């Protein structure tokens, strides 16, 4: 039972990522024709360097760029996930 639940969560995360990617690609393609798809907002953490002595350096950052097409892609992906 726990394995089924874990698999379902992984499929949900994959569905969300694919929906966002497809929505973003469609938004970029239609951005020249439909002006509303050119507007976006960015959320995230600025890239930061973490140094551990002189041996290791990590670069950490995370950015989400959301637009209307991304939101539509996410909604469609979640509706498809619920349907199946």
Strand partners, 49: 59
Instruction: For the chain, give the percent of residues with pLDDT over 70.
Output: 98
Which is nearest to 37 in space by CA: 68, 79, 81, 3? 68
Instruction: For the chain, give the percent of residues with pLDDT over 90.
Output: 50
What distance in Å separates the CA atoms of residue 74 and residue 19, rounded to the nearest whole number? Answer: 5
What distance in Å separates the CA atoms of residue 12 and residue 77, rounded to the nearest whole number? Answer: 9
**Mean pLDDT of all residues belonging to the chain:** 90
pLDDT(1) > 70: no
40-76 pLDDT, tens digit each = 888 898 888 888 888 888 888 888 888 999 999 999 9
């Amino acid at each position: 039972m726990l394995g089924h639940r874990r698999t379902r969560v992984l499929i949900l995360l994959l569905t969300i990522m694919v929906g966002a990617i497809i929505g973003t690609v469609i938004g970029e393609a239609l951005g020249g024709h439909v002006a509303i798809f050119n507007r976006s907002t960015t959320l995230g953490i600025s890239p930061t360097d973490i140094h551990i002595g002189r041996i290791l350096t990590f670069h950490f950052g995370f950015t989400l760029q959301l637009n209307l097409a991304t939101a539509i892609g996410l909604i469609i992906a979640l509706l498809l996930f619920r349907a199946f």
